[in-house]
């Protein structure tokens, strides 16, 4: 049983997939290479929870078994209809395999198709008999790329089902493709959307939802950020106009990063039991903590809109789970601890060598002391200028620190290693600690 942060049970995980509240449980699937702690032929792992706090890993849900997914089951999403669970995902087929490692493709030579598999109970999947290809590899280059079209996001609209795919144009710009279906089986292309200028060469893991009466798009453009030490593939979100009847989406010039620690990627959202929009994010790790596993997810976050800004607040179930007050981190549950405080300009707090400090109207972090042997990785981060104050709510895990600023106005998530067990504050400032009950 894992708590709060879903981590690789062993070996490798990356993107969260198919997150859904279904038959009294939260189901969270994920990209998984079950053989080694590195990227390889993708399967779908599977974890369930009743409260978004306690997680149990189940058997592998999807594995390569068909012509169209023989080289991997890439990312996708889930919907429910008439009590049945529908999982949509991208199947890939390598045209040129690495002869020294069949789990990898050479020279970008592969094709992608969109597949469907269903389940009556959310736990049992027939990978041999039940898979169906619903959108074969694209041959019309004016629509999209047969290699880089993937990650179906499916939702119910007013009068039909809709699917959004990430793709790229012939000129090498990211784009979105929109499809419509009446029955979740037969899909027709309707429209596409792209952006003037260079917002990356491919838009991965698109997500679309409504919050606070606004329509929100999240995309993960590849080769988007050029900063030294920062992964070039990042996740951004923005308000969009979307006309359902013709799937026309207008993408604005402005955006915000979903997380300012610049290490989260591939958002997956859906509604929780209470109807809140909940987002999961993969946290990239430069190395395995112990050589047996790599990959984890940030704590679930609720997306809300306030004063024209998208907030990502820690889910209330997670916050409510930290109820036992402790004196030092040594007394914490294995899932770590939580603290809250407010910073004046120039003040800082040290958490096991990890620094959080205020500089003018920004909250900043510095993990240089707890990122062993990875000088190539960026160590310092900061929020944009803040509007709602300088309150911080910090969740500390052995390998992950999440700093929620002003209840989600901005978030900084950082991977850490060799985190110490001491906390230092300035001027006697209080920062009470809370951990999970037993």
Q: What confidence tens digit (pLDDT) does each residue in 394-418 have?
A: 999 999 999 999 999 999 999 999 9
Nearest in space to 311 (alpha carbons), one of 269, 235, 234, 259: 259
User: pLDDT (tens digit, 9 = 90+) per residue, 61-120?
Assistant: 999 999 999 999 999 999 999 999 999 999 999 999 999 999 999 999 999 999 999 999
Q: Is the pLDDT of residue 252 over 90?
A: yes
Sorted by where each starts, the structural domains of the chain and their CATH numbers stand as: 2-317 (2.115.10.20), 324-436 (2.60.120.560)
* Length of the chain in terms of residues written: 438
Identify which of 43, 99, 46, 45 has the alpha carbon closest to the alpha carbon of residue 71. Answer: 43
Residue 15 pLDDT > 90:
yes
- Give the global pTM: 0.97
Give the torsion through C-alpha atoms of 261, 266, 271, 272, to 10 deg: -60
Cβ count within 10 A of residue 256: 15
Q: CA 7 to CA 10: how far, in whole Å?
A: 8
Share of the chain above pLDDT 70, in %: 99
pLDDT score of 197: 77
pLDDT greater than 80 at residue 427: no
Q: Check if the beta carbon of residue 278 is closer than 8 Å to that of residue 300.
A: yes
- Residue indicated by tokens 């708590």: 3
* Residue with tokens 């160590």, as numbered in its chain: 379
Q: Look at residue 425 in the predicted model and tell me its pLDDT.
A: 87
Q: What is the pLDDT of residue 426?
A: 79
Residues 6+ apart with CB under 8 A from 340: 391, 392, 393, 394, 431, 432
Asked if 236 and 224 count as a contact pair (C-beta separation under 8 A), the reply is yes
Strands (DSSP E) contained in 332-432 are: 337-342, 348-351, 354-359, 362-366, 380-382, 391-397, 400-405, 410-415, 423-424
Give the side-chain half-sphere CA count within 13 A for 301. 30
Q: Is 380 within 8 Å of 333 (Cβ atoms)?
A: no
Sorting pLDDT into bands at 50, 70 and 90, what band is 198?
confident
């Amino acid at each position: 049983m894992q708590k709060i942060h879903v981590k690789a049970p062993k070996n490798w995980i990356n993107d969260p997939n198919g997150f859904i509240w279904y038959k009294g449980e939260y189901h969270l699937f994920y990209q998984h290479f079950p053989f080694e702690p590195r990227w390889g032929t993708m399967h779908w792992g599977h974890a369930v929870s009743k409260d978004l706090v306690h997680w149990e890993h189940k058997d592998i849900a999807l594995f390569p078994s068909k012509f169209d997914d023989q080289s991997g089951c890439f990312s996708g999403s889930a919907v429910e209809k008439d009590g049945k669970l529908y999982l949509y995902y991208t199947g890939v087929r390598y045209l040129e395999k690495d002869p020294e490692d069949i789990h990898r493709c050479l020279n970008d030579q592969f094709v992608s198709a969109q597949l469907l598999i269903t389940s009556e109970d959310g736990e049992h999947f027939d990978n041999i008999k039940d898979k169906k290809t619903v959108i074969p590899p694209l041959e019309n280059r004016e629509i999209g790329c047969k290699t880089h079209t993937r990650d179906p996001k499916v939702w119910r609209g007013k009068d039909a089902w809709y699917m959004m795919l990430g793709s790229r144009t012939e000129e090498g710009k990211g784009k979105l493709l929109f499809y419509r279906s009446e029955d979740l089986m037969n899909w027709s292309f309707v429209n596409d959307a792209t952006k003037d200028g260079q917002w990356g060469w491919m838009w991965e893991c698109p997500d679309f939802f409504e919050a606070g009466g606004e329509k929100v798009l999240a995309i993960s453009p590849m080769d988007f950020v050029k900063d030294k030490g920062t992964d070039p593939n990042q996740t951004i979100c923005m308000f969009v106009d979307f006309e359902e009847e013709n799937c026309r989406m207008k993408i604005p010039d402005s955006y915000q990063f979903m997380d300012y620690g610049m290490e989260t990627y591939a958002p997956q959202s859906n509604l929780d039991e209470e109807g809140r929009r909940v987002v999961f994010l993969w946290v990239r790790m430069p190395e395995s903590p112990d050589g047996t596993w790599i990959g984890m997810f940030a704590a679930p976050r609720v997306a809300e809109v306030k004063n024209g800004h998208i907030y990502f607040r820690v889910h209330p179930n997670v916050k409510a789970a930290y109820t036992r007050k402790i004196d030092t981190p040594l007394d914490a549950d294995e899932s770590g601890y939580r603290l809250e405080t407010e910073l004046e300009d120039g003040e800082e707090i040290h958490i096991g060598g990890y620094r959080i400090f205020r500089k003018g109207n920004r909250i900043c972090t510095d993990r240089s002391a707890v990122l062993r042997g990875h000088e190539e990785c960026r160590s310092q981060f900061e929020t944009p200028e803040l509007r709602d104050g300088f309150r911080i709510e910090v969740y500390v895990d052995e390998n992950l620190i999440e700093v929620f600023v002003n209840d989600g106005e901005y978030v900084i998530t950082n991977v850490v290693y060799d985190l110490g067990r001491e906390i230092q504050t300035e001027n006697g400032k209080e920062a009470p600690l809370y951990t999970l009950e037993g």
